[in-house]
């Protein structure tokens, strides 16, 4: 049983560590700009860091749920790869969102949630990986689950009698 969930558990732990990193960045920003809890407004850099952390935390339960369901019912390896890709893009999102809007270059623009869904927020290697997964693994897995191989002719003949 354990060998069937090792990759999912690893991605889950990495996701939790990433969420802890985001929370620590908010704590550091609070200390830097002397904003004590429960205040959520203050210096613009703190507000961007706080909002980026909140945005990432809002989608974490959905991510974990989908990770485990897809990993158990489809393919653990493909799901773990997609999970790692998601965690990487969330890190890039956080970094881009926390940068001042005036200072954002082309590589630091925070993509919208729609762009994440459509895949255009991924760097070139991420889009390539996503396209490869969609075109080969996912399709073959869905075909095998949804359209099992037809029964041998003898069995069909028996049913026809």
> Could you say which of 51, 92, 104, 127 is catalytic?
104
> Using CA of residue 119, residue 122, residue 124, residue 126, what is the dihedral sign?
negative
Known active-site residue 90: no
Q: Which helix (H) or strand (E) holds 133?
A: none
In 3-state terms the chain splits into helix, strand, coil percentages (rounded to 5) of: 80, 0, 20
Known active-site residue 31: yes
* Token pair recorded at residue 41: 């407004």
> Using CA of residue 104, residue 108, residue 110, residue 111, what is the dihedral sign?
positive
Burial classification of residue 98, based on how many CB atoms lie within 10 Å of its CB (0-12 exposed, 13-18 middle, 19 or more buried): buried
> Could you say which of 30, 31, 114, 127 is catalytic?
31
Which whole-number Å values give the CA distances from 59 to 49, 52, 104, in the listed order?
A: 16, 11, 24
The residues that are catalytic are: 31, 104
């Amino acid at each position: 049983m354990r060998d069937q969930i090792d990759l999912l558990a690893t991605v889950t732990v990495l996701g939790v560590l990433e969420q802890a990193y985001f929370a620590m960045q908010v704590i550091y920003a609070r200390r830097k700009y002397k904003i004590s809890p429960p205040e959520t407004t203050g210096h613009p850099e703190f507000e961007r860091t706080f909002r980026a952390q909140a945005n990432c935390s809002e989608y974490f339960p959905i991510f974990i749920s989908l990770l485990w369901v897809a990993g158990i019912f489809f393919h653990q390896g493909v799901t773990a790869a997609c999970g790692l890709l998601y965690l990487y893009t969330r890190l890039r999102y956080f970094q881009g969102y926390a940068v001042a809007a005036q200072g954002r270059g082309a590589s630091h623009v925070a993509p919208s949630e729609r762009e994440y869904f459509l895949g255009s927020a991924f760097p070139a290697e991420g889009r390539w990986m996503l396209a490869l997964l969609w075109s080969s693994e996912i399709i073959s897995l869905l075909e095998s689950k949804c359209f099992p191989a037809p029964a041998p002719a003898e069995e069909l003949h028996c049913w026809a009698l």
